[in-house]
Chain A
Amino acid sequence: MSSGALTHQLRLSGWALLATLGTCLALGPLFEDRRYLVHAGGLLLLAILTGATLRALNANRLLVFVAQVAVAAEIAVLAYTESLLPTPTAVAEIRDGYVRFAENAQMYTAPMPTDASTTMSLALIIVAIGLVVDLIGVTYRRVPLLGLVFLLVYMVPVAQLAGDVSVFSFVPGATAFVFLLAADERERLTHWGRQIAMSGQVWTQAYSAVDDSGLRQSRYRIGFGAVALASLLPFVVPSIDPQILFDGGSGGQLDGNDGGLDVENPVLDMRRNLSSQTDEVLLRIQTDDPEPGYLRLAALDRFTGDEWSVGSRTTANAVDTGGALPGAPGRVASVLNVGRDYEVQVTDALRSDWLPVVYSPSRVEVDGDWLVDETHFDIRGDDGQDDSSGLRYSFRSTVADPTQDQLQFAPDPPSSVAQFTTLPSGFSPEIRELTEQVTGNATNGFSKALALQQYFRDPANFEYDLAQADDGENGEEAIEDFLLNTQVGYCEQFASAMAVMARVEGIPSRVAIGFLRPSESPDGWQEFRGEDMHAWPELYFEGVGWVRFEPTPASQGAAAPNFDAGRADDPSATPTESLDPNDTQTTRVQQDPFQPNRDDDPAAGGDADAGVWGVLRIILVGFVLLGALAVLPRTLRESRRRRRWSSATTPAGAAEAAWSELRDSMVDLRLPWDDRDTARHLGRSLRVRIDERRRAPVLTGPTTEQAVQALNTLVVAVEQSRYARTPTAVPGLQEAQRTVVEAITDTQPLSVRRRGIWLPRSVLRRPGTDRSHSRARGQVAGEAVLLLRD
């Protein structure tokens, strides 16, 4: 191996290493720090040098790979364990670290805190990826295949973060991959042969000093250009909403019109339902709860300033409904619970990704993959695969019944719920001011919350009107407008305004979306209809957990939670129990800085559900279109044939029709046909083709003799039609034409025949041009004859 080849290998390996690390950079948002990249880089570098050395010695390819794995393993053992060699204990140590990492990965939502075991495991995973990349790309020289490997790696964060991977984690990997491709191709190009230089100097050693400045220039141009295009185009062209694509726009129109309600974004659907006041029954329940209501679909936990929205839900932070559900967050054992059982029938009209339950469910029995979010206790179909239409399920909820003392003397909320008090920076000072006025001299969180609720429920302050409310707005401006100017709105405005004001006061809050109150049907079931959709705020009090409030005025018929009526508790009573902030039931919640931006746009829809439907629909439409497109040419050809024969009424017309038909058939078969040629001459060349059949015995179709005879008939007929003064009718032209075509088709290979049927080239020609042309010539010939006679 020459030094040039070694250089090339190192170049290839280097780019492969960079591409691996660059792609793994996209994993970054999943973890808290990125030390593992450095670890992996070091390990991979050594493995790659091993590979390059062995390849330079022309070692067997598999041996190279095995040696690389061995080197990487040895160094990993040295780096991560006490022992010097990969002894069983060292391997077990590493394995334990990996198991710890896997457990953590199950437990935490992104970004995961990184400890030593995480760094080690990630580094080892990346090294494994890098070794596979080196094997495929450098040892086996299949660089384009690596695109798939990198795509796989890249898909991990994309899937975990619901597609929200920063462009900066895309660019390094993509650039390195592009240059890896170029490095591979560079070798092929520069090994092509001697280079002829500009200066007239000719290098005889092909590998030594290849000047590839021009190549490099276009490599940079194309490579950086493509990466830039790929990074920037998605910003310019926002991803198209599948809803708009397939539903013809969703301008506030209720989906229930075409047979149901699709719930993806619960806010949006509540708006639609309330504004249209649909009375379609969406679900029916049976329960031992005397006053059923407040079935929650989802909690909107994130307030961005533009709107309240469903924050990111990751599978890591959820448990399957099949398993045991954790206790409600923040609620301690001393709080009185009332267990209620519910039986639910969802009608076909409600296609929701979210399962309506009463807070907080302790047991859910349902078919399909449904995940209970441990923080919000809303239940969501796994990966949007399941929707709720037609579903029957049952659940048991423990409804908290806290004493007022427990609420009054709730300690400050722990940092784990800090995310529920965040307000956008520069939040409206007017709202802050108003909040202070309303809460006035209330001393604790619960009193403040009650003051807020009372403020909203006072008919002197606000008016409930569904029609006059700003449609579909719960952002900062809309709330400000609602609070300070219009003071007219419906549950959404009330709920979101109260939640915002609670946050101003530092009380963790969120907005729950669901169903308010059922009506009883004759058969004893309680029915929820579209018009029953509702929004209400939930506020968090340490020790009690999330407590529902009802700011929407009573005119709407919703009673405020009973505690605000003041339960007959001894006001002097001390808190029954000191509440342990480190209660085991508080779920660890990690701040998620990578909030999906797409959720900001309610129309974008965060779920793949409609996407899958859309894909199916697009595929179906595509198939139909493709099918239609496929049969179009032969249909055109067929219709032309029919028209031709039907329009051939005169003897001359019939002969010309037969001839044109023959011409078209030959053109379809991609056989030469010159329109300027005489019929006799063309006939002779066709005769040659027919005679080819004599070489092999004909088993099916017309015999060669029949074909020749038919051809003669055709030629005579067309000559008569063109040159005779009064052409006589020749019978059986159509059969004769068919016989000839069949005989000639026989001699063609199958592929040509198929093409002749499915892609007839003759349809590209304008019909009629040939005939008028030949007829005109016939007339000229006739005139010439006349002149000569004179």
Chain B
Amino acid sequence: MREALSALTTRGRAFLAAGFTVTLCALVLGFDALLRVGLLAVALPLLAAFVVGRARYRLSAQRTVSPQRVSPGQPATVSLSMANEGAMPMSLLLLEDHVPYALGTRARFMLDRVGPRWRQQVNYPICSEVRGRFQIGPLSIRVSDPFGFIELVRYFRETSDLVVVPVVHALDRIALEAAWTAQGENRPRAFAVGSAEDVMTREYRRGDDLRRVHWRSTARVGELMVRREEQPWQSRATIVLDSRRIAHRGSGAASSLEWLVAAAASIAVHLSRSGYSVRLVTDRPDPEANAWHDRLADPQVQAGPILDELAVMSVSERQGMHYAVDAVAGSAGLVIGLFGALQGSDVADLARMRAHGSSVLAMILDTSAWDDDDSSKASPAARMVGALGQHGWNAVVADPYESPAATWTRLGAVARHGARTGRSA
């Protein structure tokens, strides 16, 4: 009762105050008829508080979101399992699951008269058009009376997350192998070539341990085959994403960063499907920069952490790319750079990346195309392509009028050409 009284709404307080005043006046003036009015105004909120305060509420709620990772425009379903844990029936309850505006309309439910041992599951869809990580919940419960005098609000603590990953474009298979056959290692093989078992065996060579002979393959192929345990696939790819504010133009979904993020997501998914171990490196310091996301076999799942990271990618305030260079410098493999507007000083950093990587490709954004005011100026991106080319980068200029997939195809062409020129050089 006291709890309910402290939850009086403005309306309830107004009625109480007016009622007390009228009652007092009526008592002093001795007007019974007026006394009734005052008593009515007092009795209404008090009775409401009594009725609300008398009920005992013990509601349990559990929320599941599935899938927890969606791409923009893909709906997800939130389901709430609720149960009345108390033995008492409950009166009207208003539930609201806090849903960010980007995910859709408010999830509001009304529960009228819930009996003991009541159990119910409620589903509602959510859907976002923008990437990001969204918090769903907490679930709030309002207990109200039929006259709006009382409103008790209680919150559950539990919240859930929904990750909306960037848009993933289907990319063409480009002949990256052309670039790597020359390297002699890091050879990815498409699964389409054969079964997983095929991938894992090779011909017997002199000196191989006999215990490594894979008899079943031997029986099938007709030659001695051994398991290639000592040589796991080392096809690694590093995606370098330039998220510096100075390198980007535009804002929101139409900004240049969004284009790069979409490209990064597409490439990460594409490469991991193609058998690469993929990691994402940005201009930010990242203790896990050397963690290769290759633990799990499912390519979709393998790209997951990268997609999560990309989902919440935002611009950074850094000026240079040192962290990215340091992270890349420690390892070899395919490097795909996705850059915004590059400064002259960046070229030296990027040159250092090349020094360690075996194959470096880059997309350089023509950011002036995102900038309405700057469209007349000559694109500096083309100059950068040339400058990086001198350091061994195979780069293309990207602009907003082309999808990442098309740019990827162009990049593939340039890479093949560059590989050829590299071989001829």
Which residues of A are interface residues toward B (Cβ below 8 A)? 26, 144, 147, 151, 154-155, 157-158, 163-165, 167, 170, 174, 178, 181-182, 184-186, 188-190, 192-196, 198, 200, 202, 210-219, 221-223, 225-227, 229-231, 233-234, 239-242, 245, 598, 604-605, 608, 611, 614-615, 618
A202 touches B122 (CB 8 A): yes
Cα(A45)–Cα(B18), bound, Å = 31
In the complex, whether B40 has a CB less than 8 A from a CB of chain A is: yes
Given A163-B34, A229-B43, A192 and B112 contact (CB-CB distance below 8 Å): no
Given A163-B34, A242-B28, A611-B30, A218 and B108 contact (CB-CB distance below 8 Å): no
In the complex, whether B363 has a CB less than 8 A from a CB of chain A is: no
Stretch at the interface among B144-152, B275-283, B286-294, B415-423: B144-152
Of the residues B31, B82, B95, contact of A239 by C-beta under 8 Å = B31
Cα(A178)–Cα(B37), bound, Å = 12
In the complex, whether B39 has a CB less than 8 A from a CB of chain A is: yes
Residue of A nearest to B49 (CB): A222
B30 touches A144 (CB 8 A): no
B36 touches A167 (CB 8 A): yes
Cα(A155)–Cα(B35), bound, Å = 11
B28 touches A614 (CB 8 A): yes
Cα(A182)–Cα(B147), bound, Å = 5
Cβ–Cβ < 8 Å partners of A165 in chain B: 33
In the complex, whether B96 has a CB less than 8 A from a CB of chain A is: yes
What total of A-B pairs shows CB separation below 8 Å? 172
B108 touches A222 (CB 8 A): no
Given A189-B146, A198-B115, A144 and B109 contact (CB-CB distance below 8 Å): no
Given contacts A174-B36, A189-B92, 8 further A-B contacts (CB under 8 A): A151-B22, A170-B37, A174-B37, A230-B37, A233-B35, A239-B27, A614-B28, A615-B25
Given A182-B146, A196-B120, A605 and B40 contact (CB-CB distance below 8 Å): no
Cβ–Cβ < 8 Å partners of A234 in chain B: 32, 35-36, 39
Which residues of B are interface residues toward A (Cβ below 8 A)? 11, 14-15, 18, 22, 25-37, 39-41, 43-44, 47-48, 51, 82, 91-92, 94-96, 106-115, 118, 120, 122, 144-148
Report A676 CB to chain B, min CB distance, Å.
29
Q: Which 5 A-B pairs have the closest CB atoms?
A: A193-B108, A214-B113, A163-B31, A230-B40, A219-B146
* 21 chain-A/chain-B pairs, Cβ below 8 angstroms: A163-B32, A163-B33, A164-B32, A170-B33, A170-B37, A174-B36, A189-B110, A193-B106, A194-B109, A196-B109, A200-B120, A210-B110, A212-B92, A221-B47, A222-B47, A226-B43, A233-B39, A239-B27, A239-B31, A239-B35, A611-B28
Residue of B nearest to A177 (CB): B40
Residue of B nearest to A617 (CB): B28
B146 touches A230 (CB 8 A): no
Residue of B nearest to A229 (CB): B43
Cα(A221)–Cα(B30), bound, Å = 29
B33 touches A154 (CB 8 A): yes
Cβ–Cβ < 8 Å partners of B39 in chain A: 229-230, 233-234
Cβ–Cβ < 8 Å partners of A193 in chain B: 94-96, 106-110
Report B356 CB to chain A, min CB distance, Å.
48
Report B82 CB to chain A, min CB distance, Å.
8
Given A189-B94, A218-B91, A608-B29, A181 and B113 contact (CB-CB distance below 8 Å): no
Cβ–Cβ < 8 Å partners of A178 in chain B: 40, 44, 147
Given A165-B33, A182-B146, A222-B47, A211 and B112 contact (CB-CB distance below 8 Å): yes
Residue of B nearest to A155 (CB): B34
Cβ–Cβ < 8 Å partners of A618 in chain B: 28
Cα(A245)–Cα(B25), bound, Å = 13
Cβ–Cβ < 8 Å partners of B33 in chain A: 26, 154, 157-158, 163-165, 170
Given A170-B36, A189-B94, A158 and B31 contact (CB-CB distance below 8 Å): yes
Of the residues B25, B27, B36, contact of A230 by C-beta under 8 Å = B36
